[in-house]
Chains A and B, each alone.
Chain A
Amino acid sequence: MADCARKGRTRDSMDKSITLPPDEIFRNLENAKRFAIDIGGSLTKLAYYSTVQHKVAKVRSFDHTAKETEGDPLYEISVQEEITARLHFIKFENTYIETCLDFIKDHLVNTETKVIKATGGGAYKFKELIEKKLRLKVDKEDEMTCLIKGCNFVLRNIPHEAFVYAKHADSEFRFQNTHPDIFPYLLINIGSGVSIVKVESEDKFERIGGSSIGGGTFWGLGALLTKTKRFDELLQLASRGQHSSVDMLVKDIYGGAYSSLGLTGDLIASSFGKSATTDKEFSKEDMAKSLLHMISNDIGQLACLYARLHNLSRVYFGGFFIRGHPVTMHTITYSINFFTKGEVQALFLRHEGYLGAIGAFLKGAEEDNPNQYSWGENYAGSSGLMSVSPDLNPMQRARSGTFDMLEMDRLERQLVNLPLLQDPSSYVPDTVDLTEDALAREYWLSCFEDALDGVVKRAVASQPDLPQAAERAEKFRQKYLHKLQTLRHQPFAYGSLTVRSLLDTREHCLNEFNFPDPYSKVKQKENDVALKYFQKVVMSLEKLSWEQRQFALVKGLLAGNVFDWGAKRPWLVDCYNEWLERLKGPPHKCALFFVDNSGIDIILGVFPFVRELLCRGTEVVLASNSGPALNDVTNSELQILTERIAAMDSVIQTALKEDKLTLVQSGSSSPCLDLSRLDKALATVVLERHTDLVVIEGMGRAIHTNYYAMLNCESLKLAVIKNSWLAERLGGKIFSVVFKYEVPFKSQELKQ
């Protein structure tokens, strides 16, 4: 049933006394447009689209036809303003609605906006207020349609959106991989009643059933039984109660289990079966608990019956009954496990509360065609799961109100799976899930905290001529430190916590304070230096015997030929002999190479290796980051470098000319690599060229992520482990070498 409870609880007077820090909440209002609002029984969700102006580092090649002078830099770096699209979603208590509307009106500059899309039960109630305050026409959208649209959007765009809840596990939240195909699924929306919706495609969904026993029943009946008014308080009562004093259990009837049917003694035979008496008093807590079980079990049972009838195994739960409440997530999970004997898992969504607002927004933004883009959750601007959960953090709630935010950046490119993944649905990029591994989590959180000073320094140094660099850097420090602290207490805040998510969060925070590329100057200098040695390195390699050269090339990849890391074999992971054997065989058709660092690594490590592949007759696709991350070489930098190398090296030059060497961008701005979110153009090239070798290098891409990734072609994963803790974990020492050469099972068979 639709979420009609939303009319239920609103306070008589608006709270106008609160002081908001609204510029931190309603961000980028100046350019905001396409407002949408979802007003529920207690929470309002506001959505808008805005453009964000932020600085990006651009590299531009000098005109090298002119005579070069010693000491000229290779290319110029300029910080430019770039405009990107961002979606803002804010959730707050209905109490604040008037204050918020006032604030928005005061800061809204864009006057094109004439309409606000609205959904939710409260949309009627607040229609006049909204129209009066914002002078926008309220355009009501169907609740269920918005909900489904929102659900499709988050499932498609936010990795780790869905999770399984396990109260007693080490990690309560077990995040699910984004399945390449999100359909079909069942959405059980538990508002005041229950709606069961089968979603088959973007535009096709059907309400296949429902029940009148839902959140409203828990709330209404609970209020009558316990004289408790608030929904949250009822849940609190329930979490403290013992249902066995109110419910008639199987053992109350049987004296034990009803074993021939497999019904255990503790199973509830009759909810409230013991309260059929006038001579006993029951505690509020016990009654609330019994009621909670009764309703959760009933909903779970119906959900299972519908899932079975329609043969669906993905079942998502939402609605105010579920929203952020561990108590109800637990009872629903228990019920689903019981009724399906573990065959179906109850799935919950991190951004479930936003679905209606997102959907309403999408309805209003159809002309912008937001579904043609990929979007990414901005960790800097999003609050994370349970940021305002009363159960988890009552202090925070009292202090800051319940403002919760989600920001999503429009990505320049559409992201897809690497077509070479063996099983996209089971691919997990990250090697260690820090949500589950408490030891590793502690180590990495401290590690990132310790590194923060250095990052701040680097950020300031990267912008000697820009204003307030020190202040901005300090703000960055505060923000990131706060994120780390949040993650210490709520490691599940942004899905599975991983080294990758920690790195990405740092990048997002840096961008937030206009440090788009703290390493730009370092990279420039390193590239410059390395280029000078390129020809020398190539020449010395040419002098080696074939076998010696192959080893030197691999060493170069590992250490940029400079340090003596990895000289001593066997390495920690050592498949070099197999690789060498393979090289004696026929050349690969096409190698896809995910590159890592600027400077020595790319110029003196990767290029000579690529050169050798080209000489063998293998085409090469070099995939580099679309945006900056640490000292990783970006696509625009790599283009300049390649041009320069081509000018010095005929092999590279010919390969470029004959289209045997291609540069593509990965679509990522992370020091790690998620093979399930790559630029669509890259995927196309990979398929067209019949890629049969993937090389992934560096700690971020080959160790923190993708170490266990299974591809359906040959792959090389190589890195030097430059972190002693991680090296020890893998059974080695700092500067241990990983050289992993993998051949998928099938092609191995073919060879034999």
Chain B
Amino acid sequence: MKQKDYHCENGGATKTELEEAREREATASPASGSSMMTSAGRASSSNARRTAEPPVKSRPPFPWFGLDIGGTLVKLVYFEPKDITAEEEQEEVENLKSIRKYLTSNVAYGSTGIRDVHLELKELTLCGRTGNLHFIRFPTQDMHAFLQMVRQKHFSSLHTTLCATGGGAYKFEPDFRMMANLQLLKLDELDCLVRGILYIDSVKSNGPSECYYFENPSDPEHCIQKPYRLENPYPLLLVNIGSGVSILAVYSEDNYRRVTGTSLGGGTFLGLCCLLTGCSTFEEALDMASRGESTRVDKLVRDIYGGDYERFGLPGWAVASSFGNMMCKAKQESVSKEDLARATLVTITNNIGSITRMCALNENIERVVFVGNFLRVNTLSMKLLAYAMEYWSKGQLKALFLQHEGYFGAVGALLELLNPST
């Protein structure tokens, strides 16, 4: 079970501010409350909470952060209150102000931290406060530099609780304590993920759509991104592609299960690309891939059979053997780094596609949502996945994507701070 360091002082019979706010706005669909996003085991406590909500004054002090420390990237969401009264402004301690100013006035932090400005959610009402939600990321390998900064900014003086999820919440917990004098509230990453997705989708239901799909994925000329309304989304297969891949079957807001996972994920793409091409960043690898041609590296069905393998309904263009041409020395010499990057991307993406498709069949689910930072600025993979889902399922499966692809875990962690599920 989840470790629980933080809790509101007492449990009253009122609704959370969040829910009140929602009701005021009258935007929330019945299925979209953030407090409901819990795993099956916690369903009862979640139900109990609806009738015994904490009082308004349980709202935690600023700053509000949610942290997701993955294998490759750390994702940080920060809620910047915009409705700060003059009184509050006066009371706001210097340290808090400086953190707020630092985060909101920059788009890059250090050499590797980046704020995804295009994802920022403006004028969001959260826990009765209105403000902007910022999305920031930096490589996990820079965790110690981050902790240095946290110490310099005297974060610990703010007496806030830092909600963190992802494996790093466990791995770096001692470092947080020792280097920054901070106690982490560790949260399960899949709980946070599911909770985050359903929340973001709900708050964006009247703005630009969070969820989208590709129309005509088989036709590059006419393949266009289209908004998709994720209302009544269950059952749904959720594929989270980070360094590795987790596949969850989500049957209702509080009933989900990790079906399987694969170690061939974003980390594999980048790791292999680094070894094969000497590149060093995800962006570089993707850029190369966009300029390469995988069919020189892969052996296709038509390379073997001269065309389609009709007996088994395999089209000639299908990949028979990823990297299959590289068994041959002469062909090795004729491919470019770009070709290799492209082949790596296609291999990893198609493999995730086929495992996903098999899971969808086994679980009897027709809707698949792909998330995770592997898909960031990676339209190539998204279109491939969209196409693979449609083609191999003969139109039965629909691949869906979300704008905030990699940040849902961090959002879920933030929600836990504001509205603990236990």
Contact = CB atoms under 8 A, between A and B. Distances in A.
Given A216-B322, A217-B347, A254-B170, A271 B299 contact: no
A2 B171 contact: no
Interface stretch (B122-130, B274-282, B394-402): B274-282
A309 B320 contact: no
B70 interface: yes
A337 to B, nearest CB: 15
Contacts of A192: 299, 320-321, 324, 327
Contacts, number: 211
B329 A229 contact: yes
A261 interface: yes
A275 B272 CA distance: 7
Given A9-B327, A212-B350, A255 B171 contact: yes
A533 interface: no
Interface string B155-178: 000000000001110111100000
B304 A248 contact: no
B271 A246 contact: yes
Contacts of A221: 272, 322-323, 326
Nearest to A194: B321
A302 interface: yes
B320 A276 contact: no
Given A221-B272, A224-B340, A246-B271, A211 B354 contact: yes
A253 B141 CA distance: 11
A219 B328 CA distance: 9
A214 interface: yes
B189 to A, nearest CB: 8
Contacts of A211: 351, 354
Contact of A212 (B312, B340, B347): B347
Interface stretch (B50-58, B87-95, B214-222, B261-269): B261-269
A210 B301 CA distance: 12
Contact of A216 (B172, B312, B318, B323): B323
A276 B324 contact: no
A305 interface: yes
Interface stretch (A86-94, A108-116, A293-301, A538-546): A293-301
Given A217-B347, A269-B71, A273-B267, A4 B320 contact: yes
A216 B300 CA distance: 12
Interface in B80-130: none
Given A217-B323, A254-B170, A2 B263 contact: no
Contacts of A646: none
Contact of B271 (A217, A253, A258, A274): A274
A271 B264 contact: yes
A250 interface: yes
Dominant secondary structure of chain B at its interface with chain A: helix
Given A213-B351, A220-B326, A225-B275, A193 B311 contact: no
Interface string B298-341: 11010111000101101000111111111111001000000010
Contacts of B167: 250, 253-255, 258, 269
Contacts of B361: 309
Contact of B299 (A216, A272, A294): A216
A215 B318 CA distance: 17
A221 B351 CA distance: 15
Interface in A306-348: 306, 308-309, 339
B260 interface: yes
A223 interface: yes
A724 interface: no
A548 interface: no
B66 interface: no
A219 B312 contact: no
A419 interface: no
Given A212-B298, A260-B188, A121 B321 contact: no
B299 A4 contact: yes
A365 to B, nearest CB: 22
A13 interface: no
Contact of A270 (B71, B298, B329): B71
A282 interface: yes
A216 B275 contact: no
Interface in B270-297: 270-276, 278-280, 297
Interface in A190-223: 191-193, 195, 207, 209-217, 219-221, 223
Nearest to A252: B71
A276 B284 CA distance: 12
Contacts of A270: 71-72, 242-244, 263, 265-268, 271
Most buried by A among B273, B279, B320, B351: B320
Contacts of B267: 248, 269-273, 276
Given A211-B354, A223-B332, A305-B362, A217 B275 contact: no
B268 A302 contact: no
Given A1-B320, A302-B354, A272 B272 contact: yes
B360 to A, nearest CB: 10
A213 B352 CA distance: 11
B377 interface: no
B362 A224 contact: no
Contacts of B323: 216-217, 220-221, 224
A22 interface: no
A224 B262 contact: no
Contacts of A191: 321
B263 A247 contact: yes
Contacts of B268: 270-273, 294
B82 to A, nearest CB: 35
B355 interface: yes
A573 to B, nearest CB: 51
A144 B311 contact: yes
A258 B280 CA distance: 29
Contacts of A309: 358, 361-362
Contacts of A274: 271
Contacts of A558: none
A380 interface: no
A213 B262 contact: no
A277 interface: yes
Contacts of A246: 271
Contacts of B262: 297-298, 301
Contacts of A1: 301, 320-321
Contacts of A493: none
A660 to B, nearest CB: 57
B258 interface: yes
Contacts of A278: 274, 278-280
A268 B265 CA distance: 11
B304 A253 contact: no
B312 A207 contact: yes
A256 interface: yes
A8 interface: yes
Nearest to B392: A209
Given A192-B321, A273-B243, A276-B274, A4 B304 contact: yes
Contacts of B329: 223, 229
A282 B275 contact: yes
A287 interface: yes
24 contacts: A4-B324, A9-B327, A192-B327, A210-B314, A211-B351, A212-B321, A213-B322, A216-B321, A216-B327, A217-B322, A217-B323, A217-B347, A220-B323, A225-B275, A248-B244, A253-B166, A254-B170, A255-B171, A258-B167, A270-B71, A271-B268, A272-B275, A275-B275, A278-B279
Given A217-B321, A273-B268, A309-B358, 11 more contacts: A4-B303, A191-B321, A193-B299, A209-B358, A211-B351, A212-B319, A252-B171, A255-B170, A270-B267, A277-B274, A301-B262
Interface of B: 70-72, 166-168, 170-173, 188, 190, 242-244, 258, 260, 262-268, 270-276, 278-280, 297-299, 301, 303-305, 309, 311-312, 314, 318-329, 332, 340, 347, 350-351, 354-355, 358-359, 361-362
The 7 closest A-B pairs by CB, nearest first: A220-B326, A272-B271, A270-B267, A253-B167, A216-B321, A273-B267, A255-B171
